[in-house]
Amino acid sequence: MEETLDKTITDAHLAWDNTLTDRKQNFIVVLDSEIITELIKRRNELDKLTQDDLPLLKNAVLGFRKKILFEGVGLFVIDGVCLKNFSLKEKIAIYTLIAKILGELIVQNIRQEKIVEIKDIGKSMKTGGRYHETKEGGSHHTDSPQWKDVPDYLGLFCVHNAKNGGTNLFLSAYAIHNKILKEKSEFLHIFYEKFHFDKRGEFKDGESPTVFEPIFEFKDERLYFRYLRNYIDAGHDIQNQPLSKLQKEALTYLDNLMRRDEMIMSYDLKPDDMVFSDNHWIVHGRTSFEDHDDENLKRLMLRTWVRDQNYRK
């Protein structure tokens, strides 16, 4: 029998809400002057270095992983101010090195890209566009829920922010679970049942076009969450297994719950900021945005997905 979390989680590091926005000391970090000196000394070869070539950076990032990703609020933001003296190319190399310290960079698409641009290219989700190719907001989700083994961490590097809007939003799956227990406990069993997630055409011959997994899982005393609503809707259409009335009611409740201001930690990433989050229980999204007319100034984030072989060990 599958385990179910049946009690309210009171640990503020896990079940946080919008008040985390005002407790930035819980998730904002900087690279200290000794690390910056270490990086400056090797700046001409940053794109060729391994994590072991930069011991101070490695120790700091592993510390962030332990204290914040594992034992803290599940995400950390590296304040980009500490990188002001580096070129964009160097900053991207530093971002890549940090991601590699956390684990292995995962190929994200059929183009074999390990770093993907998050940028509006004029598409819309209503006409089949991917979320990262639009300027639309909402659709709070975890990344790659259509994979059997989802990425452990999500990384974002802010190159440019939008003219207006585009605020990054984060939610705790523990806080979401607590609310469901309190308000709609009759729905909880539905979220532990399996749903079809559309693989978006990225599957091999003979494979199922969907993955069949639950939204919530509780194992080894940890809560896991995977969700992207339109992937579920599309997955059930593909499999010709319409969602029941009760399932639709439960999913609509969940969508509305995740839109409540009280649930959301908001943070405006500045250029050069980097954020890394635990993709198993940190839900994310953004507000819609108005972009700059100048192509060189348009909102641009670089995304990495990381698999950590030592996750939770």
pTM score, two decimals? Answer: 0.94
Is residue 240 within a helix (H) or strand (E), and if so which, with residue range? none
Which amino acid, residue 48? K
Q: How far apart are CA 50 and CA 258, in angstroms?
A: 39
Question: Rounded to the nearest 5°, which phi and psi values hold at 284?
Answer: -140, 165
Residues 223/256/290/267 CA torsion (nearest 10 deg): -40
From first to last of its 313 residues, the chain has per-residue pLDDT tens of 579 999 999 999 999 999 999 999 999 999 999 999 999 999 999 999 999 999 999 999 999 999 999 999 999 999 999 999 999 999 999 999 999 999 999 999 888 999 999 987 675 556 555 666 676 677 899 999 999 999 999 999 999 998 888 999 999 999 999 999 999 999 999 999 999 999 988 888 888 999 999 999 999 999 999 999 999 999 999 999 999 999 999 999 999 999 999 999 999 999 999 999 999 999 999 999 888 888 888 999 999 999 999 886 5
Long-range contacts of 21-29 (CB under 8 A, 24+ apart): 21/265, 21/266, 21/267, 26/68, 26/72, 26/73, 27/68, 27/72, 27/73, 27/75, 27/76, 27/77, 28/76, 28/77, 28/79, 29/64, 29/68, 29/76, 29/77, 29/78, 29/79
pLDDT of residue 158: 97
Please list, in sequence order, all residues whose beta carbon lies within 8 angstroms of the beta carbon of residue 226, skipping any fewer than 6 positions away.
Answer: 142, 145, 150, 197, 213, 214, 215
Which residues is 153 bridged to in the sheet?
278, 306
pLDDT of residue 128: 59
Q: How far apart are CA 256 and CA 175, in angstroms?
A: 14
Q: How far apart are CA 26 and CA 283, in angstroms?
A: 17
**Exposure string over 171-188, b if 16+ CB within 10 A, otherwise e:** bbbbbbbbbbbeebeebb
pLDDT of residue 63: 98
pLDDT of residue 201: 83
Distance of CA 118 to the CA centre of its chain: 13
**Exposure string over 303-313, b if 16+ CB within 10 A, otherwise e:** bbbbbbeebee
Give which of 285, 250, 280 is closest to 264, Cα–Cα: 285
pLDDT of residue 135: 64
29 neighbors 68 (Cβ within 8 angstroms)? yes
Please list, in sequence order, all residues whose beta carbon lies within 8 angstroms of the beta carbon of residue 36, skipping any fewer than 6 positions away.
Answer: 82, 83, 85
Q: How far apart are CA 199 and CA 217, in angstroms?
A: 20
